[in-house]
A and B are shown apart, each in its own frame.
Chain A
Amino acid sequence: MASRASSQGLFFRFHIDLTLLLGLITLLAIGQVILYSASGENVALMQRQGIRLGIAFVVMLMIAQISPDTMRRWSPVLFIIGTIMLVAVLLVGTKVLGAQRWLNLGLFRFQPSEMMKLAVPMMLAWYLSSGHIPPRNRHLLVALIILLLPVLLIAKQPDLGTSLLVSSAGLFVIFMAGVSWRLILGFAFAGLAFTIPMWLFLMRDYQRQRVLTMLNPESDPLGSGYHIIQSKIAIGSGGTFGKGWLNGTQSHLEFLPERHTDFIFSVFAEEFGFSGILVLLSIYLLVIFRGIYITTQAHGTFARLLGASIVLTFLVYIFVNIGMVSGILPVVGVPLPLVSYGGTSIVTLMAGFGILMSIHTHRKLLAH
């Protein structure tokens, strides 16, 4: 007990939350293990991902050292820079696969929308924490404008997945700030009423197609329904205990598309089965509950709002990804957090957990 307390103390001094850290490391390790199988035992790919994980880890540790108060002060600056960059993306961005998401900064390409996953909740937390809690209606209106501006800019790229995550991050801040249930229900109905014109005028053809094939994937088995059908086959054929690591036929015989990125969960489900899934979901739950615990212990409105938003966005990540690969949500291009292959999303996620650690470990300093 004593040693645990002292090591806890040591980690605490370096602004690290041990429980969160263990959960994250376990998830990243699981990610590497499945990636080895999903990539067809491609070691080079794993090395690339390993470097990204290292960078993400360093980013997390660095951010954990910054106090929430400093973050709060820098929030508007970060938001304004991010918004300007989003406008720049639409004007001079690099187009990849039909979507204009990247800014070419000479040395590397940068995805401003990724930064907004944190900048938007920070901005909203800054704005709402400086006002009355629960916020008054006019503050809510301003908050909604702050939220909608980047969301629409991102949706325009188009990047449905990210705009969904950014808007949920923002909405969670507003929700945690205590907006009345009456308003929430009102907006929910308004939102429902808004879906019809959105379906007709705002959504692009490919997005509509995705929703349609989600509702009935068998209608186009060789076209847009193919991903979902193959993914469901992979998950379903996994059964209780799975086909075993490296033995997934759906993934190894390449029936499963995008198996090391968005559909990596299907590979996991095929090879480790329902029992493996329960373990994975438990670790995710552990991280989420630890996150919620941290926010309840947090000092200061900004820290609470931001922390809760980060945790709940992480939940949305998980739900949307697993929901889409298992065929209950449309395929919107959201990776499985910390497990899917891909650099940017992991760096942003780990930065978010860095913020959570900072919130947790800077409490005592703030208390006085």
Chain B
Amino acid sequence: MAQRQHLKDHFIEQRIFHNRSIVAILFTIILFGILAFRLFVLQINNHEHFTTLSQNNRVSVQATPPTRGLIYDRNGIILAENLPSYTLQIIPEQTSDIDNLVNELSLLVNLREVDIKKFKKEVRRKRRFEGIPLRFRLTDEEVAIISVNLHRLPGVEIKAQLSRFYPYGRETSHIVGYVGRINEKELKSLPFTNYSGTNHTGKLGIEKSYEALLHGQVGYQKVETNVRGRVLRVLERNNPVPGNDLYLNLDINLQKVAIDAFADKRGALVAIDPENGHVLAMISMPDYDANLFVNGIDSKTYNALNTSWERPLYNRTILGGYPPGSTTKPFFALAGLENNTIQLDHEIFCPGFYQLKGKAHKYRDWKKWGHGKTDISKSIVQSCDVFYYDLAFQLGIDKMHQFMTSFGFGKRSGIDILGERSGLMPSREWKKRVRKQVWFPGETVIAGIGQGYVLVTPLQLALGTATLANGGKHFQPQLVNAIQRKEDHVPRQVVPQMIRKIPIKRQENWNEIYHGMTEVIHGARGTARRLNKPDMRYKIAGKTGTAQVFSVAQDATYKEEELEERLKDHALFMAFAPVKNPKIAIAVVVENGGHGGSVAAPIAGEVIEAYLSQFSDEELNNPSRKSPVTPMKKSAPPTKVPPSAVDPDNTASSPLHKHKEHEEHVHG
């Protein structure tokens, strides 16, 4: 059939085929033209754009976390350090089944539920090629077990890194505080870039309030990575700047003496250097081990701590509001003298009770039969209540409020840890604003013996004592003594901040109070005379206090032993020493301790003795008062903690602690 019209067909065929071949050549040229044009656009026109994209692909910036600053006590003993520890981590992209891997690991090492929960949360947050910590602080044995099994655990890594450790975790838990894993809320408030690579942040205490100084500056390295993020080489390095080291005013040995003296009692102790407001010791009992919190505390331990009726997590020194009781007496006596309400020869007769004119209500003295004739000194030494009922009535609440406030009562001291309570020094204005009531004269009377609305924190009491001791210089209490920046050779001192100098109207007035307070310890009938020892190198001035936990009905017999332990009086004591040259001012509160003189005073005595043992006789008894402000290096500007670091209103800073007002201490 192909033979039909062979010749003619052949020519037509030839022509058609030639035409189509030309079309095919044109077609080829067009398609190649399109390709060449497209590639020209990509490679020549948009070359820079794609070069940038290609660079971004391969070069990634990795954060190198800075080393956290160390914390030392005043003698250079380390309180917070960074120890090498081994962290178990998983790189999600290198494993197909994370859940299964975690299960396998839990057979090898101890994994707590919190660890796994936190880990799974972070898996969602971080990139697939980033190592995500599962367990911190592996023991040597655990490291060995995992290392042996590493070949069948794809994506598992053991990373050596530094972990925070507190050698005195118990002794300093309330003050130094602790660091913990960054939570979601903190993630939003912390500077994001500077914390890339950082797992921990300060949660409480110094660790929290000085976070900005302790953390340091993050470093970077530009690395070339492949598509899975594996680092192939480092292109550029920018080293991190370690955080600043802090030197505290705290003396860890003094702290230990105080803790030993407390034994199993509950309460708080604050010791301040009256010359500059340096906090020498600060304890809240019971305490807890801060190291528990560093890498996530398990819920069982935490609940036990949080729900214990002894409230170990509660920092009583700045949060506890206690009725100061008789410890206010020296202040009120001085208030009366300086206000010219009473004179140095003022004397009353104490029948054992006090009555306002025209009122039947009897304000009782602690001594049922009264103290008889009582002058200023005796009123302090024997803690006569009636003297102060009368004095308060004469002074009036306005003058009392004004005078006490100048010593720091009723307001935050400004100490450099967060969450401080202001206590309460009542006034007419306060009662009108908060209670929506007018002030009653009877309330003035009981305020005169430090009861009623009055609440002080142990820190305020110590601060007031220091201010009294140094002749009216009201300092802001300061835990951090110096900040060692890496670029400096010597640490920079934190300049003591004097908030106010209370004007002395007559030195004799102050001396009278010192005399009375000295007699409390060294007088034959002093309420704290058990502190007096025959061979003492120095004299102590102090005042005991016993604060009622709840009010006792009129004419009811007060039977301490019948009260439950928790309803017992709080025992208080405030003191400074040596009287001639005060070097330490101290306040002690022992919850439900009973009498201040028998329970609180001995604790203070031990701390004072321990602290003063370092001084020579001459130093102790040289009455010439030095300038309270240690001279600074003139070139160094006063280092102040950045405002962001210390924010007294930021009580939400420790979400682990559910703070409650000590309402049970308020009695009406």
Q: Which A residues contact B (CB, under 8 angstroms)?
A: 129-134, 175-178, 230, 232-240, 249-250, 253-255, 269, 273-274, 277-278, 281, 284-285, 288-289, 292, 295-296, 301, 304, 308, 311-312, 315, 318-319, 322-323, 326-328
Contact = CB atoms under 8 A, between A and B. Distances in A.
Which 9 interchain pairs have the tightest Cβ spacing?
A236-B50, A237-B54, A178-B16, A253-B226, A274-B43, A254-B227, A236-B42, A237-B50, A239-B47
Given A134-B16, A296-B17, A312-B27, 11 more contacts: A176-B17, A233-B53, A240-B44, A249-B54, A249-B57, A255-B226, A277-B43, A281-B32, A289-B25, A312-B28, A318-B31
Interface of B: 1-2, 9, 12-13, 16-18, 20-21, 24-25, 27-28, 31-32, 34-36, 38-40, 42-44, 46-47, 49-51, 53-54, 57-58, 224-228, 232
Contacts of B27: 312, 315
B51 A239 contact: yes
A232 B21 contact: no
17 contacts: A233-B54, A236-B50, A237-B47, A239-B43, A240-B43, A253-B57, A277-B36, A281-B32, A292-B21, A292-B24, A292-B25, A292-B28, A308-B21, A312-B28, A319-B34, A323-B34, A323-B38
A274 B54 contact: no
Given A132-B9, A240-B44, A250-B54, A323 B35 contact: yes
A175 B20 contact: yes
B58 A255 contact: yes
Given A323-B35, A326-B38, A250 B21 contact: no
A25 to B, nearest CB: 21
Contacts of A250: 54, 57
Contact of B58 (A236, A249, A326): A249
Given A232-B50, A237-B53, A133 B13 contact: yes
Contact of A304 (B17, B35, B46): B17
Contacts, number: 135
B12 A176 contact: no
Contact of B227 (A130, A176, A253, A288): A253
A288 B16 contact: no
B49 to A, nearest CB: 7
A315 B42 contact: no
A235 B51 CA distance: 10
B24 A308 contact: yes
A296 B21 contact: yes
B2 A322 contact: no
Nearest to B46: A236
Given A254-B228, A308-B24, A130 B1 contact: yes
Nearest to A134: B16
A326 B35 contact: yes
A272 to B, nearest CB: 10
Contacts of A308: 20-21, 24
Given A175-B20, A254-B228, A296-B17, A278 B38 contact: no
A237 B38 contact: no
A328 B43 contact: no
B9 A133 contact: yes
Contacts of A234: 54
A236 B51 contact: yes
A279 B58 CA distance: 28
B35 A322 contact: yes
Contact of A328 (B38, B51, B53, B232): B38
Contacts of B1: 130-131
Contacts of B49: 236
A274 B57 contact: no
B31 A278 contact: no
B224 A253 contact: yes
Nearest to B59: A249
B58 A319 contact: no
Most A CB atoms within 10 A — which of B9, B42, B47, B228?
B42
Nearest to B12: A133
Contacts of A281: 32, 35-36
A295 B34 CA distance: 25
Given A130-B1, A235-B50, A249-B58, A254 B226 contact: yes
Contacts of B228: 254
Contacts of B232: 253
A327 B167 CA distance: 63
Contact of A253 (B9, B25, B58): B58
Contacts of B226: 253-255
Contacts of A315: 27-28, 31
A219 to B, nearest CB: 17
A291 to B, nearest CB: 10
A246 to B, nearest CB: 15
Contacts of A327: 38
A133 B35 CA distance: 34
Contacts of B38: 322-323, 326-328
B9 A274 contact: no
Contacts of B46: 236
B2 A130 contact: yes
A47 B50 CA distance: 34
A239 B12 contact: no
A238 B51 CA distance: 8
Contact of B42 (A129, A232, A255, A292): A232
A183 B12 CA distance: 19
A274 B39 contact: yes
A289 B228 CA distance: 44
A236 B224 contact: no
